[in-house]
Amino acid sequence: MALCGGGLWFITALFFFVEVHAQPVLEVRQTIRELGISIGTFPTGTLNAITDVPGVRVGHTTLRKGHGALVPGQGPVRTGVTVVIPRDDVWNHKVPAGSFVLNGTGEMTGLAWIEEAGFLEYPIALTNTLNAPLVGNGVISWMLKQYPAIGITDDTLTPVVAECDDSYLNDSQGRHVTEQDVVHALESASSGTIAQGSVGAGTGMRSYGFKGGIGTSSRVLPEADGGHVIGVLVNANHGRREQLTILGHPMAPHFSKVQAPLQTTEGSIIIIIGTNAPLTSRQLKRVAKRATFGLARTGTIGRHGSGDFILAFSTGNVIPHYPTAQTYSMTILSDIYLNPIFAAVVEATEEAILNALTMATTVVGRDGHRVDAIPLEPLKRLLIPY
């Protein structure tokens, strides 16, 4: 089995100190590919991240404060915000976009306008459920600073904010992510390596009975298929322990000694897809739907109470802001060449979810609630033979 599908192999094992009963525990985390487990057949980009798509930037603000019993409105705090900027000056150089909702127990604001207009014109923000309105305010504040005419002589905006519930670990009533935290994530967003796991919007998330959070992966198509880059970023907060499947193998029997947290909610997942393939909004909706196959490969069924939202965008064309000419031109990939992109999205989605699990660290939150990171050594022993 190949260690890496392509590009350069960067060892991004991270060392974290996690507070468990006031005792620091050193955790070494690796991506699923660094564990020696390859997903799919297409090569990855150099970073194996959504930032392999040229122009895409990602930023986090992570908030961790306090320990012990929950004091509503004060803490403990285990939350954050993650932002995805599709390209520089996206207000004036809009990107085609399309979405799909697998199960709608949740919210991703701004989708009605994307559905109507067929494009995305501002950053995407991910956060916890009760913080979504304040995070939207932060995106608006940042946009007003970049484009002072908004709401005066220019259009207004409806920010895209996708939420998942982190209230098992976090004082969600406190709505601790501020506008300044959102602005910080946007200002610090970069096109480089992305921190994964228990960071940003993923700080308080759990998935398949383990610690979840932010994960990312990418694929590069062969030149014969266009050479396009497809990147995926997820905020994984979904699934039950008994459902977890990796490379077709049920994992739950092998982790019976790791206590699963009390499952009080159904969970959710946010999937963001970026590509430089020249796709239309209609085609991007089709691409977004294919991410559900990668999601299903990890075991989930899209539960009744789950919020599973997928948004795809393409940097392969520019939709101008109030063009002076009555027409403009776009390059559009023929539908008959979409199949490799569909396959790449499935692979990258599956791997991004697994990276969210393998890169996440154990977190102890409010009222002593603990969510353990998935143990890595059993994964190596179980899966490398395959």
CB 75 within 8 A of CB 173: no
Task: Tell me the residue length of the chain.
Answer: 386
Q: What is the pLDDT of residues 258-311, one digit of tens each?
A: 777 666 667 899 999 999 999 999 999 999 999 999 999 999 999 998 999 999
Looking at residue 218, its pLDDT comes to 99
Q: Where does 162-271 have alpha helices with state H?
A: 179-188
Residue 290 is part of a domain; what is its CATH number?
A: 3.60.70.12
Q: What is the pLDDT of residues 132-183, one digit of tens each?
A: 999 999 999 999 999 999 999 999 999 999 999 999 999 999 999 999 999 9
For the question of residue 268 being annotated catalytic, the response is: yes
Is residue 11 domain-resident? no
Q: What is the pLDDT of residues 206-250, one digit of tens each?
A: 999 999 999 999 999 999 999 999 999 999 999 999 999 999 999
Looking at residue 2, its pLDDT comes to 35
For the question of residue 89 being annotated catalytic, the response is: no
- Which residue among 99, 218, 306, 314 is the active-site one? 306
Ramachandran angles phi, psi of 184, nearest 5°: -60, -45
DSSP codes, 91-154: TTEEEEEEEEEEEESS-BTTHHHHHHHSEE-S-EEEEEGGGHHHHHHHHHHHHHHH-TTBTTTB
Looking at residue 111, its pLDDT comes to 98
Number of Cβ atoms within 10 Å of the Cβ of 166 = 29
Pairing of strands 57-65, 77-85: antiparallel
Q: What would the mean pLDDT of 88-108 be, rounded to a whole number? A: 97
Looking at residue 385, its pLDDT comes to 67
Which tokens belong to 254? Answer: 């092998």
Looking at residue 14, its pLDDT comes to 43
For the question of residue 191 being annotated catalytic, the response is: no
Q: Which residues span the domain enclosing 271?
A: 19-383
Q: Give 281-304 as a 3 state SS string.
A: HHHHHHHHHHHHHHHHHCCCCCCC
- Which residue among 52, 165, 308, 372 is the active-site one? 308
- Which residue among 268, 281, 314, 372 is the active-site one? 268
Is residue 4 domain-resident? no
Is residue 202 domain-resident? yes
Is residue 14 domain-resident? no
Give yes or no for residue 81 having a pLDDT over 70. yes
CB 119 within 8 A of CB 97: yes
Pairing of strands 249-250, 14-20: unpaired
Quick one: what percent of the chain has pLDDT higher than 90?
Answer: 85
Looking at the structure of the chain, the number of domains it has is 1
Is residue 2 domain-resident? no
Give yes or no for residue 86 having a pLDDT over 80. yes
